[in-house]
Structure 1
Amino acid sequence: MPDRFIVQSLFGIEGLNITWYGAIISFAIIIGVWLASREAEHQGLNSDMIFDFLLIVLPLAIIGARAYFVIFEWDQYAANPLSAFATWEGGLAIYGGVIGGFIGAVIFAKLNKFPLLRIIDIVVPSLVLGQAIGRWGNFINQEAFGNLVTNPNLQFFPYAVLIDRLGEWHQATFFYESMWNLGVFFLLIYFRHRTKFTGQLLATYFVGYGLGRFWIEGLRADSLFLIPGLRVSQGLSLVLIIVGIFMLVFHKKLFREFLPYEGKYLKDLSK
């Protein structure tokens, strides 16, 4: 496995390191911003909207990802609560990031009087693509792997991955989820300009991502149980699936076909 650091002691400063995980996440953010900006412009909106959106959403997504991890791993931090702020030591949870990001989206929509479901539909393909890319950080860190693979015939990538510190082969669940999310991304791109109501892409994401995460979480060797037989992330996945299906089935009663916007982000076509 490659070293988890790209650069150590940057500028000669001890502890100032650049990790592959951080670089991968940064790359995912750049690609996601570019993709969402293109869609905003396609809808006659200024791409500056996406950067303003990011300034609110990104900090809350990081806070949410860290808070979720710390809450469900509190035994690690109970003796030294201040260590909960040491994000550079690792410990971010995707579901917490999604929750924090959604709160940020609500704040952005309220502040700018922008339709909430419309902005989410613009950015949700970027979200799931970012999740697909970000999972490769787990590959570098050798985490988020699955059950032990003892059959020598199955000890190959991408079915399994060798975990160096354990000297064992485990299911490459990070890879499964990355590929699943990539499939959901292409599904969203296909429907993006074929939607019947505002919020359809969000509903599709809920169902698509939820199904994949529910299945893959059941293979993970490191996830937490909510109740015997059901893991925490599986419980959240079930909520997403149910909400997504509800939105798709009852969209005619709940949602409008297209939510208009006449605010400051509307592109001035007269220029």
Structure 2
Amino acid sequence: MTRIITHNDDNCFKSFEAVIAGRHGILGQMFLSIWTPDPILFSAGTITIYWYGVCLALGAGAGLLVIVAIGRSYKFSRTFLTDLFVMLVVGGFIGGRIYHVLNEWGYYAAQPAEIFRVWNGGLAIHGAMLVGLLILVFTARRQRIDAWRLADVMVVGLAIGQAVGRWGNYFNQELFGGPTSLPWKILIDSAHRPPGFETTAYFHPTFLYESVGCLLIAAGLWLLHQATSRRTIPGWAHLWIQPGFIALTYFILYSILRIGMESLRIDQVPLIGGIRLPLISSVLIIIISVVIALFRRRQLHAKA
């Protein structure tokens, strides 16, 4: 199922020796630079299970556990959060896929059957966020619940889900960065190397960077929730006690992380003025989130 890079018989031992006794040593090498994964976890007859789907499912499960745990502090029931989470996952999946297809319309217009082959990857987080926000606001209004506080609860699970789900990109050999010789470089099979990089074997594992970044964001937001529930936030940070500010913090931090990732990635995406569309979207999200935060702050001070 999983393949190890090999050379001819004369070079095989030398390659292994380089891993053991190289400049960084074996402890300094990552398995990412040695192995290329098989995207299929299991296949029997007409049944095929892809690692990409498994990673998404594990991410969703981990995210739900975190959401339910945090939701208890705000008196949200497990049933309500689970039902909402299912709607968000389904809606986010559809929104993310539509956004991706529109971004790559030239490819999908020529091969429409590929639109439905989601196991090959192709979900855009910005599309998932947009549809997810619409579902959350609609549900909150229908249930007469504070949408801001509900968003605060959901974003921690979202960050956890992203951290786990991003590993699906590793198994699909996609969304990696430019060439690198760093110890944690990722080996990309020749069949998945983009045009112009056919002779380059090692690239930045941007999926790993984003996974770690999302874990750090989730940890920070979790600590904010814990401090908020105990009212232990220092005076200078008292705004995070107010509904909505944890969610806005997520959108700002993740967008900053995404800008960094977009500066490394070399996959083809639509450009506006020579700038990658996801990067532009991330900048816009930061601006909108900051403006909303300032507006909310003004509202809260006016009520005080």
Deviations 1:124-146 (A, max 9, x none): 01101111111111111111101
For residues 184 and 174 of structure 1, do their structure 2 counterparts lie closer, same or farther at Cα, with a shift above 3 Å needed?
same
| The structure with more helix, counted as a fraction of residues | 2
How far, CA to CA, are the matches of 2:247 and 2:106 in structure 1? 34
TM-score by length of 2: 0.76
Kindly state the Cα deviation for residue 60 of structure 1 after the two structures are TM-superposed. Answer: 0.9
Name 1:203's counterpart in structure 2. Answer: 248
TM-score by length of 1: 0.84
Kindly state the Cα deviation for residue 105 of structure 1 after the two structures are TM-superposed. Answer: 1.0
Deviations 1:198-250 (A, max 9, x none): 00111101110111101211110004243234211111101111122223333
Given the alignment, which residue of 202, 214, 217 partners 2:259?
A: 214
For residues 234 and 46 of structure 1, do their structure 2 counterparts lie closer, same or farther at Cα, with a shift above 3 Å needed?
same
Contact 1:206 1:244 (C-alpha < 8 Å) held by counterparts? yes
Deviations 1:166-200 (A, max 9, x none): 46111111111111111211111121133231001
Name 1:5's counterpart in structure 2. Answer: 40
Kindly state the Cα deviation for residue 155 of structure 1 after the two structures are TM-superposed. Answer: 4.3
Gaps of 5+ in 1: 257-271
Aligned partner of residue 110 in structure 2, secondary structure: coil
RMSD of equivalent CA atoms: 2.0
Task: Give structure 1 regions of 4+ aligned residues with deviation exceeding 4 angstroms.
Answer: none
Gaps of 5+ in 2: 1-35, 194-199, 229-239
Aligned length in residues? 247
What is the letter of the counterpart of residue 170 of structure 1? F
How far, CA to CA, are the matches of 2:211 and 2:268 in structure 1? 17
User: Percent sequence identity over matched residues?
Assistant: 31
1:1-271 correspondence runs (5 A): 1-9=36-44, 12=45, 14=46, 16-149=47-180, 154-157=181-184, 160-165=185-190, 166=193, 168-192=201-225, 193-194=227-228, 195-254=240-299
Aligned partner of residue 109 in structure 2, secondary structure: coil
For residues 215 and 155 of structure 1, do their structure 2 counterparts lie closer, same or farther at Cα, with a shift above 3 Å needed?
closer
What is the letter of the counterpart of residue 183 of structure 2? F
Aligned partner of residue 78 in structure 1, secondary structure: helix
For residues 174 and 39 of structure 1, do their structure 2 counterparts lie closer, same or farther at Cα, with a shift above 3 Å needed?
same
Mean CA deviation greater in 244-253 or 72-81: 244-253
Name 1:260's counterpart in structure 2. Answer: none
Contact 2:50 2:119 (C-alpha < 8 Å) held by counterparts? no
Kindly state the Cα deviation for residue 73 of structure 1 after the two structures are TM-superposed. Answer: 0.5
Kindly state the Cα deviation for residue 90 of structure 1 after the two structures are TM-superposed. Answer: 2.8
Deviations 1:64-119 (A, max 9, x none): 01101100101112134354233234322222222221122122213322221111
